[in-house]
Chain A
Amino acid sequence: AQTVTQSQPEMSVQEAETVTLSCTYDTSESDYYLFWYKQPPSRQMILVIRQEAYKQQNATENRFSVNFQKAAKSFSLKISDSQLGDAAMYFCAYRSETGAGSYQLTFGKGTKLSVIP
């Protein structure tokens, strides 16, 4: 079974600075998808960025980018020019096939990000 590990329970960053959240995973598959989700106090999970393992180029979405190291099974999230609205829980997730032609997400335990004004 796939596992996702986030080793930083909490992180903080000054407003306008850059922060990197870490994620490692374990899999024997060669092609898969990885995601970062943001969960604000409203509890709704919001997709931040995604990466297909087949693609070597790191994904970028505005101020959010990833450092995907397939051999190391590492998938870190970099937030540039941090804003107060970035404060939330961040979850790394791995998409796996259930074996019935369907897919599901496995999540890490999350990192709580605080942004200091």
Chain B
Amino acid sequence: EAGVAQSPRYKIIEKRQSVAFWCNPISGHATLYWYQQILGQGPKLLIQFQNNGVVDDSQLPKDRFSAERLKGVDSTLKIQPAKLEDSAVYLCASSRDRGKSDYGYTFGSGTRLTVV
């Protein structure tokens, strides 16, 4: 099966600009996650979707970050306006069974964002 697709792979923007990341999960995976991975740290969950509904967005900085999954398939994560501390890798992951899969989640290769 095809993996989790993410684009772009790299993005460089100036602070206060906006940026959007795209994720296409594995076909049939109803659960989708966005993680933020700052250099030297482990991934931190930003938001979790079940189909097109939000399950958990408690760690999403809602004043500048937004995410949607309108048709329950692709998802977009947006940052507006970006800050220097948003520089990180943004990972998308998907799973069956509401994330209860015994085999963990399938991750994409991420988007590396640099804010200058």
Residues of chain A whose beta carbon lies under 8 Å from any beta carbon of chain B:
4, 6, 33, 35, 37, 42-47, 50, 52, 91, 93, 95, 98, 100-110
Interface of chain A, main secondary structure: strand
B31 pairs with A102, CB closer than 8 A: yes
- Chain A contacts for B102, CB-based, 8 A: 33, 50, 52
Residues of chain B whose beta carbon lies under 8 Å from any beta carbon of chain A:
3, 31, 33, 40-45, 48, 50, 55-56, 89, 91, 93, 95, 98-100, 102-105, 107-110, 112
List 6 interface pairs A-B (beta carbons < 8 Å), by A numbering.
Answer: A37-B104, A43-B91, A91-B43, A102-B31, A104-B48, A105-B45
Task: Give the total number of A-B pairs whose CB atoms are below 8 A apart.
Answer: 75
Bound together, the chains give a CA A109 to CA B43 distance in angstroms of 8
A44 pairs with B108, CB closer than 8 A: yes
Supposing A43-B89, A45-B91, A98-B56 touch, asked if A106 and B45 sit within 8 A by C-beta, the answer is: yes
- Chain B contacts for A45, CB-based, 8 A: 43, 91, 93, 107
When the two chains form the complex, which single residue of A6, A43, A95, A102 contacts B50, counting CB atoms closer than 8 Å? Answer: A102
Bound together, the chains give a CA A108 to CA B104 distance in angstroms of 15
Most buried by A among B99, B103, B110: B99
User: Which chain A residue lies CB-closest to B4?
Assistant: A44
Supposing A37-B104, A103-B98, A104-B33 touch, asked if A110 and B93 sit within 8 A by C-beta, the answer is: no
Bound together, the chains give a CA A47 to CA B33 distance in angstroms of 16
Instruction: List 9 tightest A-B contacts by C-beta distance, closest first.
Output: A107-B42, A103-B99, A45-B107, A102-B98, A43-B110, A47-B104, A44-B109, A102-B55, A109-B42
